[in-house]
Structures are given as structure tokens and as C-alpha cells.
Amino acid sequence: MSARLSEFQLVQPARIEDAIAAFVAKPGARYVAGGTDLLVNMRRGIVSADRLIDLSGVAGWGSIDADAEGMTIGAGVTIAALARDPIVISRYPAVAQAATSIAGPGHRNVATVGGNLCLDTRCIYYNQSEWWRKSNDYCLKNRGDTCHVAPQGKRCHAAFSGDLAPVFLALGASAEIAGVDGRRRVPLSDLYVEDGRAHLSLKPGELVASVHLPAVLAACAYEKVRARGAIDYPLAGVAVALMIAGGKIVMLRIALTGTNSRPFLLADVDQFIGKSVDDAMLHGVDRLVQRQVQPMRTTLAAAHYRRLAAAAVARRVVRRLAGA
């Protein structure tokens, strides 16, 4: 007998507009896609909803369309479908790589791209049962008024731990967002905010409809550090897109997950343009990563470790892509 969820009504719209309308009509509504994050959180009592809006029946929601310009991935595409799509594998192998590293096969068959991008942030003081959190007087992110990770501060440092976002960021993705006022397209990085309590810039009722990846010539790879080989979130995950011409870097993007409340593109990497990938450059990457990541005590693994590991992996992936 699993703990029953609080009662709610499930609505199953067939069009995005209806989904949004259903959301706006009922305060306390929530979107659910695969449910592998949301339903787990509901079972723990950290999220509750009077109405769940099931996005899985929305038409056109789960398609992957590729052309010369790039690729558009519907938010409803399952992680499993993404991982085995032949065009994804051939054009964006890093995407398939990241997708395969998410949770376990049973999750991936239902989990979606949209859910992965909008995954709730995580913290050892937050992803706990109701009894646990209550015994600990809750916390800023949920019902309480202090953060146990940084009690002096005013913000929540829960970590974003999705695996797809960094790869998409490195590939220069944009997101199509649908809301009451229609659709807008934003660079994917604009979807995120460095705040563990509200890490998405979505307005009420808005949802991610699709992700667009431009055609890229850069080589791209993703690597995540975690304690186990499966069903484990990244302690740190690094995606790198790198293009080299004549031995010199002409394009470089590095994106990280698991270390901050949002996935983010490493700033100031342009300094490496025109340089070659050598020890000095790798050392520079290491320093940039260490300076920009902000891991906090939100995982059982030490925060400092996540910093070091992120930097080590960044170095390694850059070197590997450069074939150096």
C-alpha cells in the first residue's frame, strides 16, 4: 500500500490552449507530464494540487522534427524516445548520451523532455517525507522560513539536477513557451533563474511547448558525476560544445547542471577563442568552473567535492572533444 495522494482531479486536455485554460481556471493546478518527478514529490507531500493537468494527450506534443535548420523537440517527447531517435543519435549524440543517463529505464519510458527541463530543484532538506520536514520545521522552499543550508541567507539554494538542460544550453537551444498570451521563443538559458524556490521564469499557466536546437557543427559531449551507475541525479554534470579550426578554438560553450539552482552556461569562455586546447587552457577552464559554480550543502556529497568534480569533468570533456 503506497501512501495515497491527496485527492485531486485529473484533466486530460487534447490541445495546448485547453491545457492552459484548465490551468488558469483553477488555482492550485499543476501540469503533469511523465509524472516521474511530480508524482514522487506529491507522494512525499512536498507538492500538492487540486487539479492535475495531464499533458500527455496534447496533440503534436511528442514529435521530433528535424530539417536543415536544426531540430525541434516537442516537450512531450519521452526521454526513451529521445535517446533512441536515429537523427538525435547521429546529429546530437550528446543529447542521446545525457538522455540515457537519466534515472532508470522505467522512468525514461514515460518521463518527458519538458518535465526534465522543468524538473523541481532538489535538496536533502526538501526531498523528504512530511514527517521529516515537519520535524525539521520545514524550510524556505516549502512552508518554512529558514534555509537549513544557508540559514543567514534569504534564498533557497536547492540544486537543479536535470541532465538534458546543460546539453541543450551548450548546443545553443531555444525554448518555445506557450501561455495565455500565445507563444514566445526564448534562449533556453532565459527559462532559468538562480533561485531554488522559483527556478523557472515561466508565468502562471505557461508551459514549455518545445525545444529548438540549431544545426551545429561543433562537437558536443556530456558527462555526469554521480555515486552510482543509474537511478542517480548528477552531483555535477558538464556539457561542452567545441569547434576547432586549424588547431585553434573557434567556438566553445560549457554548461553545467547539479551545482546551482539553475543549469547555466559558463561565462567568459570567449577568452579561449583563438587559443589551442593545451594544459594552460584546460587550467583556465578549471578555474572558471570553480569560480562560477555555487554548490551548497544540498546533497550528501560535500559541496566542495561537487565544485572540484565539475571542474575536473569540464577539463576532461574539453580535452576529449579536442582529441588532445
Contact positions vs another protein (CB under 8 A) = 1-10, 12, 35-36, 39-40, 43-44, 52, 54, 56, 80, 100, 103-107, 109-110, 124-125, 127-129, 131-132, 134-136, 148, 225, 227-233, 235, 300-302, 304-305, 308-309, 312-313, 315-316
CB-nearer residue toward ligand FAD: 77 or 281 = 77
What's the burial of 228, exposed, middle or buried (CB within 10 Å: 0-12/13-18/19+)?
exposed
Q: Which residue is nearest to ligand FAD (CB)?
A: 115
Please enumerate in sequence order all residues whose Cβ is within 8 A of that of 188, keeping only pairs 6 or more positions apart, or say none: 117, 165, 168, 169, 173, 174, 175, 211
Binder of residue 207, out of ligand SF4, ligand FAD, another protein, none (CB less than 5 to 8 A by kind):
ligand FAD
Measured distance CA(260)–CA(244) in Å, rounded: 29
Which run of H or E residues covers position 174? strand 174-179
Using rule CB under 6 A, residue 46 touches ligand SF4:
no
Q: Which of residues 251-280 bind ligand SF4 (CB under 6 A)?
A: none
Binder of residue 300, out of another protein, ligand FAD, ligand SF4, none (CB less than 5 to 8 A by kind):
another protein
Q: Which of residues 145-174 bind ligand SF4 (CB under 6 A)?
A: 147-149, 156-158
Cell of 196: 531554488
Which residues bind to ligand FAD, rule: CB under 6 A?
30-38, 40, 55, 75, 79, 102-103, 107, 111-112, 114-116, 118-120, 162-163, 207-208, 231-233
DSSP 43-93: HTTS---SEEEEGGGSTTTT-EEEETTEEEEETT-BHHHHHH-HHHHHH-H
